[in-house]
Structure 1
Amino acid sequence: MADKRAEDDTEVRAALAEQGLEPTTNDDAVLSAYDALLRQAADYERAARAARERIQAAADAEAAADAARQRLDADIAEAASARDAAEALRAEATTELAQLRLRSEQVSAREQEARDGFTAQAQAAHAELDAELERRRQAAQIEEEERRRGLAEEHAEQVARLQEDQAALRRSEEELNDQRRAVLGQQFQLQRKLDDLEAEIQARAAADVAALDRELQVLRIQSDARIKTIDELRKQLADQEQQLLRIGGTDPQYLIDERDRLAADNAELRGKLAERLADDDLHRLRWLERQHREVTGERDRLAYRVQELEGAALASRINNLQLKQLSDAERHFEVVARGYESRIAELHGTVEQLTRDRPDPGTPLFPRCVAMDDDPQLNEPGAISAERPNLSQLARSLQAVMFADSRRAYRLNDVCVLLGGLAMSRLHLLEGMSGIGKTSLPVALAKALGTECTVVEVQAGWRDRTDLFGHHNTFERRFEESEFLQALYLAQTPRYRERPFFIVLDEMNLARPEQYFSVLLSKLEHEGEPIQLVTRGTGRAPQWFVDGWRIRLPRNVWFIGTANQDESTLEFADKTYNRAHLMELPAQRPWLPQAATVPEIEPYGAVALRKSFEQAKQTHRTDTTEVREFLEEIADDLREHGRAVMGPRLERQLEAFVPVVVAAHAGDPVAERPEGEDSGQDGRSLAADHFLARKVLRSLRGRYDVTPGGLNKIRDVVCTVWELRGLRGAPVRCVRLLDDEQRRREG
């Protein structure tokens, strides 16, 4: 009996723990009452007649358990529905966030389109103004020329027309200044509209982003609440399942009685607990909950207010910025207006001085070129050899003479490649580090050949043909002849017209040759009409000009451009590389043993030199075929791994280049110290290595669409086919170029 009572006490304490109540010392009375009930229950148990009633109670308990299970199933279904709703809200929030990002990108795109549109409009306005200014200048020139023709008829009429022209010029200048100020005003208005549009777009984007952030925060709070509800329902479900498991092994009637008793005890204990919490704690708890709700609402209201104030502050800063810009623009226009006024005064003074000190109409338009016509030394042709030079002897003689003049030699292979380049193209590009003799090479070559070489220093600001040839000074009625134009004319004088003539464009890539050298690039490719310098000539015309204002491109002229590769220079375009012969001089120049006598080179004519080139093409046709077959054998791999192909222009250059290099390299070797990497190459392998590296593989430089694996495959194919074709030495130029590109990609 005592063991039974101990078990019952344990069950009571467990029931109190399940209800969240801890037994105290005040519970002794409850336990005593419970002992009495147990004794009564023992009497009932001894009564077997209550079996039917207990069976019926068990059935009722089972029905109640089924009802509870159905309620649990309904709760589970509701929890699943809530989970699906939370997932839908999360997906909706993700979609809205993506839409927000898309709208932000669209706003940025519209802002860029607006900026590009206004910039294009401003550029169009500038272009239109420049075109109008050029038309007015041409009209002024035409009027000036017409007025000049009438000056010889009557002095009084000349004075009157001069005054009229001055008045017209003043009016034209005033109109141009008005138009320029109008264009500047339009540009300022366009810029101001662009700034307003940018500010409006930014403000709207900020407002949209803030609103979407608030909506996203609300959705996140709702999602968290739903998830918390699901967790609570899961916990209740687990508790009920535990209770069902416990019910399964106990007498139903006992459980019913126990439940009633525990319910009464629980009510009594809850009453006691409520009495203890009804004073300050319960009131404070409810007050804290209410304060929490009020503080949360106030926080949300203040956050929205902060966003509104930030938007207002942004708009205020934009307005202040616009006012500052207007003020700066006003001061700028005042400065510009004062500058225009002073410039107009200067122009008036210049016009008066020019009209007062007008040159003689008979003054030559090209005075320096005319001065060459009057130079007796330039009118004497001089002695030149009409025989075709032996290219092998010429190459070695050139190397020895250049070494004797400068005490530093150029390698024989470089001289042979240079002669091949003269046969291939009239445009040469010499690349390499500074101080290795790029400019001195053509100067020494011209001196050895007994001809002239003019060095023209290219400026970084050159943009068009006027920077190269010069420009027409309308007021002084003469052409500002550039050094380049004088060199072109010098090459046509009787002294040099039959000799090779070299014009060096030093630091050619300081500016873009595709802009200032474009006319000559076209003329070198397709020789045609002479180059027009002015629309009409006056005074004495140069003797070798065409129609007095056009100049031919002489066939005896070769253009040689030097190029450094550093941060101050620009890259040549492919159209320039494709038309030019490219050489890269080594950093170390060799030293030759002192020769007993320096050979004398007869001054050969350009025609005789070209005849030697043509003879080499006939003599070494087999070598050209061998090099072409070598390139054709690797063409598929070059196209697949490097997207490098040989077009018709390269085919023509190959036919002109290879035979001259082979002919120049033939003969006894030259002792050079130190020997170069390509010392084991003969003429054919030298031509193949140089042409493949500089004309075909050069297109791989700086192209990152060609992978390091592709470069390795090209290198292996070139070396393998080189050995299979029996070419001497090694393709050192090709391997060096591919290795440099490999290191550049690897870092």
Structure 2
Amino acid sequence: MGGRRKTSNIPPGQRRPALQPAADKLDLAAAAKRAADDTEVRAALAEQGIEPPANDDKAVLSAYDELLRQASAYERAAAAARERTGAAADAEAVAREREQLAADARAAAEADRRRLAAAEDELKGRLSRFTADEAHLKVRGDEVTALEREARDGFAAQARAARLELEAELDLRRQTAQLEAEQQRRQLAEEHAKQTALLERDRAALRRSEEELRFEKGALRGQQILLERKLDDLDKEIQARAAADIAALDRDLQVLRIQHDAQVDTIAELRKLVSERDEQLLRVGGTDPRYLIDERDRLAADNAELRGKLAERLSDDDHHRLRWLEQQYREAAGDRDRLAYRVQELEADVLAGRINNLQMKQLSDAEAHYALLTRGYESRIAELQGVLEQLTQDRPDPGTPLFPRCVAMDDDPLLSERGAISADRPDLSRLARSLQTVMFADSQRAYRLNDVCVLLGGLAMSRLHLLEGMSGIGKTSLPVALAKALGTECAVVEVQAGWRDRTDLFGHHNTFERRFEESEFLQALYLAQTPRYRERPFFIVLDEMNLARPEQYFSVLLSQLERAGAPIQLVTRGAGRAPKGLVNGTHISLPDNVWFIGTANQDESTLEFADKTYNRSHVMELPAQRPWLASHGTIPDIERYSAEELRRTFREAKRQHISDVREVRGFLGEVADDLREHGRLVVAPRLQRQLEMFVPVVVAAHAGNPVEERPDAEDAAQDGRSLAADHFLARKVLRSLRGRYDVTPGGLGKIRDTIRTAWELCGLSGVPVRCVALLDDEQRRREG
């Protein structure tokens, strides 16, 4: 500017009178400005360590004022940096509560503090540079003063040009400072992104390590199962051998019983003989046998004597006849004795024959039994040989796939093409209203906007949903309509009452036909991994999920929904052509784009869910009546958002609505003591994590213009934060009161009063209709 200064050829004394009025006006304006701003400007400059200028020209003061505003702006930036430092400290405090990411969070917070400190140092350096610029501007101010002096002498246009040039230079410096600040913010963001990528790589490495450990654990489990099967086979063999030995012992025991019966009969015969002898002895009496022998000898002598006398008296013929009779008598007595002995021998032979006949009959019966068993086994063997021959003839080629339906999906050209995905990130408010309109237009089933917002919050909170309510209110239709509105697929699997383990859910290996019986659930899980659907949200509905116990047949997936686990083993060894989506042809992974939705009727034919299932799921109870909607409205185009973009939108909502999470957490803190005292209810850490994802999404989805509908509930006055607080407290915390009669009706009343009081104190809109309705139902159940 000094180089463009011009020297007037007119004497100063001749120019000054003509410009004096304008100069006086300028001096008066400058004096007024100085009178108003002098004190403030000097005090501000003194705070910044800048010595105020010696002159009071208007341009210089304007420059100082502009400099002061810039300094204040950088001071505010420093304050914001300090606030970010405080926020980083808060984030570090919160991160300490999370065990898995504590070390990473502290390192990130420390890095942020270092960057913020560097930013403050940079700001201080810039402030010092601006101080130097202020000194330079002071010199320039002197030049401006000289120019204004010349302006009073007639160079007003040159003064204005100089002022404009000075203002342009100040604007340029301000823009330069803003660009530098923006560049620094971008650098900080890039560094944060790099740190985040490093953390993700570390987490991926940890997940891989966990998968390897789980794989090794599965292999050990497989070996254990093989050992258990071998032990079972040995037990069965031992039992079979023991059964054969027992049968042989039974046969020997039967023979011994027959022999015992024969011996009993013999003993009875002997006892009969003994009794006959005893009777004979009784006839004889109690005389001594020797006396009887003597008496017999005496009688024989008397008989001989009498015979002699008789012989003397008898004639010779009589005598001879008598002798012949005696000889006949003796021969008859010998024949009698021989016949008696023969009779005894024949009786013994008959008894032995009877015993032999019994033994032969037993052996004949055993032989017939064994012949019958032999014929049965021979017919069974022939039948099995026929089945084996038929299976051998009809057996597929060894190259036939073990999973034919999954391989057929790989060969389907429609499923091999990547599905169309929208590149835009969804707006949750617009998405909620779009889903409501599309579902109403497509299925003629109206769903309240509040229910749609709660459903979106549940998608962010958990990958397992439980839809409860009476039969026929559209529990199965809701996920089907939601899938159509999102331009994706929904598979419905009907749960059977006899399901007990994961083979009922996934299917089983048919060893005879050498293929895997792929269940509908396994096919749906594999369909979600095909190129057409792998990037889209995919829904699998387990219809009437509580006909069997999910804690048994769904247990493998329950443990993997919250943390990534090892792939699920389907078979121990693959065969034939392996499906592309299976790991090593034997395991299947749980895709990240799948949400499981279970429907549940509450009646006598179903079972109650366990707390393990409830705690890991998002519970939603649909109203019995449909709301009224004015019309379909303008049906929007179906946007096919990817599952990853949907999750990014959920995370962005969490960052934007962190204050709403604090408000709802404060509300739960107000009622926590009474819940613990009167209901023994505690908001566990898992529920805290679910709350942090559920509330922001519901708030973001509920924001926007109201929908023209006539709701069937009293929650029309609730905003997004109140809706989230009411639903979460009722379905995730107070739900545990159902069926618990250790909580008295008085305790339920105190909990209800506490919730209403805390609701008003926290400034939540409307009334907690879901909490009050649940507590009223429980109180009526206990009182009635």
The TM-score normalised by the length of structure 2 is: 0.53
User: Which residue of 2 is the match for residue 744 of structure 1?
Assistant: 781
How far is 1:525 from its partner?
2.0
C-alpha separation in 1, matches of 2:513 and 2:742: 55
Q: Residue 377 of structure 1 aligns to a residue in which SS?
A: helix
1:294-305 → structure 2 map (5 Å cutoff): none
1:178 aligns with 2:272: no
- Structure 1 residues 614 and 420: alpha-carbon distance in aligned structure 2, compared to 1, 3 A threshold: same
Contact 2:440 2:632 in 1 (8 A): no
Match of 1:730 in 2: 767
Change in 2 beyond 3 A, CA 1:515/1:343 = farther
Q: Match of 2:723, as an amino acid?
A: L
Aligned to 2:211: none
Deviation at 1:608, TM superposition (A): 0.7
Q: Is the 8 A contact 2:658 2:696 kept in 1?
A: yes
Larger radius of gyration: 2
Corresponding residue SS for 2:596: strand
> Relative to structure 1, is the Cα distance of residues 138 and 182 closer, same or farther in structure 2, using a 3 angstrom cutoff?
closer
Structure 2 partner of 1:609: 646
Deviation of 1:132 after TM superposition, in Å, equals 9.8
Give, in angstroms, the shift of residue 342 of structure 1: 7.4
In the alignment, is residue 460 of structure 1 matched against residue 506 of structure 2? no
Q: CA deviation at 1:461?
A: 0.1
Q: Deviations over 1:120-165 (max 9, x none)?
A: xxxxxxxxxx9899725999xxxxxxxxxxxxxxxxxxxxxxxxxx
Distance 1:183 1:570 in 2: 47
Is the 1:133–1:176 contact (alpha carbons within 8 Å) kept by the matching residues of 2?
A: no
How far apart in 1 are the matches of 2:422 and 2:225? 53
Q: Which residue of 2 aligns with 1:662?
A: 699
Match of 1:575 among 597, 604, 612: 612
Evaluate the alpha carbon distance shift between residue 520 and residue 180 of structure 1 in structure 2; reply closer, same or farther with a 3 A threshold: farther
Equivalent residue of 2:620, what SS?
Answer: strand
Give how far 1:511 is off: 0.2
Aligned runs of 1:176-575 on 2, under 5 Å? 178=240, 346-575=383-612
Query: Runs of 5+ in structure 2 lacking a partner?
Result: 1-223, 248-371
1:600: how far off?
Answer: 1.3
Write out per-residue CA displacement over residues 65-113 of structure 1, whole angstroms, 9 at most, x where no aligned residue.
xxxxxxxxxxxxxxxxxxxxxxxxxxxxxxxxxxxxxxxxxxxxxxxxx
The secondary structure found in structure 2 opposite 1:712 is: helix
For the 8 Å contact 2:626–2:712, the answer to whether it is kept is no
Q: Which amino acid aligns with 1:528?
A: G
**What SS class does the counterpart of residue 381 from structure 1 fall into?**
coil
Pick aligned residue for 1:135 from 229, 235, 248: 229
Letter in 2 for 1:178: A
Question: Partners in 1 of 2:514 and 2:716 — Cα distance?
Answer: 58
Please tell me whether the aligned partners of residues 448 and 711 of structure 2 are also in contact (alpha carbons under 8 angstroms): no
Contact kept, 8 Å, 2:717 with 2:766, in 1: the verdict is: yes
Match of 2:755 among 718, 737, 742: 718
By how many angstroms is 1:601 displaced?
Answer: 2.3
Structure 1 residue 400, shift from structure 2 partner:
0.4
Amino acid at match of 1:640: E
Measure the CA separation in 2 of the matches of 1:133 and 1:341: 32
Q: Does 1:584 align with 2:621?
A: yes
CA 336–444 in structure 1, closer or farther in 2 if over 3 Å, else same:
farther
- Partner in structure 1 of residue 630 of structure 2: 593
Residues 440 and 629 of structure 1: CA distance in aligned 2, closer, same or farther (over 3 Å): same
Q: CA deviation at 1:341?
A: 8.7
Cα distance in 1 between the residues matched to 2:427 and 2:403:
41
One-letter code of the match for 2:725? A
SS of the residue corresponding to residue 378 of structure 1 reads: helix
Report the alpha carbon displacement of residue 630 of structure 1 after superposing the two structures with TM: 0.3
Task: Determine if the alignment matches structure 1 residue 645 to structure 2 residue 682.
Answer: yes
The C-alpha deviation readout for 1:2-42, integer Å capped at 9, x for no partner, is xxxxxxxxxxxxxxxxxxxxxxxxxxxxxxxxxxxxxxxxx
Q: In structure 2, do the counterparts of structure 1 residues 482 and 723 end up closer, same or farther at CA, with 3 Å as the change threshold?
A: same
Deviation at 1:528, TM superposition (A): 1.9
Q: CA deviation at 1:564?
A: 0.2
CA contact (8 A) 2:734 2:771 kept: yes
Q: Which amino acid aligns with 2:562?
A: E
CA 1:708–1:541 in 2, change beyond 3 Å: closer, same or farther?
Answer: same
Mapped contact 1:408–1:590 kept (Cα < 8 A): no
Q: What are structure 1's unaligned runs of at least 5 residues?
A: 1-129, 140-171, 186-334
TM-aligned CA distance change 1:529 to 1:349, over 3 Å: same
Cα 1:369/1:131, change in 2 over 3 Å = closer
Does the CA-based 8 Å contact 1:459-1:510 persist in structure 2?
yes
TM-score of the superposition, structure 1-length normalised? 0.56
1:350 Cα deviation (Å)?
2.6
Paired residues in the alignment total 438
RMSD of aligned alpha carbons = 2.9
Does structure 2 retain, via aligned residues, the 8 Å contact 1:501–1:557? yes
1:138-177 maps to which residues of 2 (within 5 A)? Answer: 175=237
1:406, distance to aligned residue in structure 2 (A)? 1.6
Contact 1:624–1:658 (CA under 8 A) maintained in structure 2: yes
Matches of 1:436 and 1:722, distance apart in 2:
31
Q: Cα 1:173–1:693, aligned 2, differ >3 Å: closer, same or farther? A: closer
Residues 174 and 628 of structure 1: CA distance in aligned 2, closer, same or farther (over 3 Å): closer
* Aligned-residue identity in percent: 79
Q: 1:387 offset after TM fit, Å?
A: 1.9
Query: 1:623 corresponds to which letter in structure 2?
Result: D
1:64 match: none
Structure 2 CA distance for aligned equivalents of residues 664 and 179 of structure 1: 71
| Distance across 1 between alignment mates of 2:505 and 2:537 | 21
**1:480 CA drift (Å):** 0.5
Counterparts of 2:377 and 2:605 in 1: how far apart (Å)?
A: 35
Corresponding residue of 2:58: none
**Counterpart amino acid of residue 356 in structure 1:** Q
Q: 1:595 to 1:133 in 2, by over 3 A?
A: same
Deviations for 1:646-688, whole angstroms, at most 9, x for unmatched residues?
1110000000000000000000111113442111110000000
